[in-house]
A = this chain, B = another copy of it.
Amino acid sequence: MSLSVAVAGASGYAGGEVLRLLAAHPEFTVTTVTAHSNAGQPLLAVQPHLRSLSHLTLVDTTPENLAGHDIVFLALPHGKSGEITSKLGDDTLVIDCGADHRLVSEADWADFYGGDYFGAWPYGLPELVLAGGGRQRAALVGARRIAVPGCNVTAISLGLAPGIRAGVIEPEDIVAVLAVGPSGAGKSLRTDLLASEMLGSASAYAVGGSHRHTPEIRQNLAAAGGVGVTISFTPMLVPMSRGILATSTARLAPGVSPTDVRSAFEIAYADEPFVHLLPAGQFPRTADTLGANTALIGLAVDEVARRVVTVTALDNLVKGTAGAAIQSANIALGLPEQLGLTTNGVAP
């Protein structure tokens, strides 16, 4: 089997990473790459690291160019995927790396995004533990439309959902603070994203609940069984190109022991190929996940402060975006879930 694949938005960081992973996938063949202002250029001119795809040339991002493929990956700015997808066939597998189809609540959608094409698709976070006891994975089997989660959302959700599901942490008053690299902001020409500004410096943005990922985190933790979830979420930009280190904390539920907490996470991830709970006393570094579809979680219980703290490391462009997209495609198509994906980071 070799399935034909198109990638829309191939000149950006997310699109480039989808391509890097596709190039290593034994069952997928990239035949079309599209872009906006870079259309007409060889792919290698804008993604010089993708040597094995040197035969590809960027074409315009139009429904016509994207039609006729077995799989279409969308790595487009907000608001673009709805229109394009409406013109693609129902049997085409469409994987959207953007935010257009993640939110179930139309009110949240209107508050944080807005636009013409509201409507949630099956959500591509296979390891998310659900209130009913299953995993989100089941919703992806056979799907032909999949919304890939936000990168920060994945880190926080994986770091808290098992505790919510097991009732060992409280869904109210969650606090998450993340160290994130700038590639999550895309290839945007903004002064604050210049190397001169970021090298040797850390800064925060979207402080105070304004980050668009906030409702999506609440949605996931609600899916895990959290009632009345509230979360304070602050991302801090730090000088590494990739990577998310999410420190997620929640109140320890009454009467729960540290062992109960650890047990909840151990059970949740015991059989997961891509999500690993580290032994007690160990905490991950983002470098260990660079280029890999891996999320590593360290866990501690602060019995004085009565808070559970998890530290989750992942690569925002892989497990946070492109790797989740490939993994979800594998599941949707009935392929082995790990096909074409590595668990080994590029370190040091």
What is the interface of chain A, defined by CB distance below 8 A to chain B? 13, 16, 20, 23-24, 47-53, 173, 175, 177, 179, 181-183, 185, 187, 189-191, 193-205, 207-209, 214, 230-234, 236, 238-243, 245, 247, 249, 251, 276, 283-292, 294, 296, 298, 300-307, 309, 311, 313, 342-348
Contact = CB atoms under 8 A, between A and B. Distances in A.
Contacts of A342: 23-24, 52
Contacts of A286: 200-203
Given A276-B51, A290-B200, A234 B311 contact: yes
Nearest to A305: B232
Nearest to A300: B208
Contacts of A204: 245, 247, 283-284, 298, 311
17 contacts: A24-B344, A47-B347, A49-B344, A49-B346, A51-B294, A173-B173, A181-B199, A182-B195, A195-B199, A200-B243, A200-B286, A201-B243, A201-B288, A202-B313, A204-B247, A207-B300, A236-B245
Nearest to A235: B247
A140 to B, nearest CB: 23
A241 B196 contact: yes
Given A239-B240, A240-B200, A346 B20 contact: yes
B291 A291 contact: yes
Q: Which of the listed residues A247, A306, A342 has the most CB atoms from chain B within 10 Å of its own CB?
A: A247
A285 B201 contact: yes
Contacts of A16: 347-348
Q: Which 8 A-B pairs have the closest CB atoms?
A: A208-B300, A201-B287, A177-B177, A203-B285, A49-B345, A209-B302, A195-B198, A49-B288
A325 to B, nearest CB: 16
Contacts of A49: 287-290, 292, 344-347
A199 B240 contact: yes
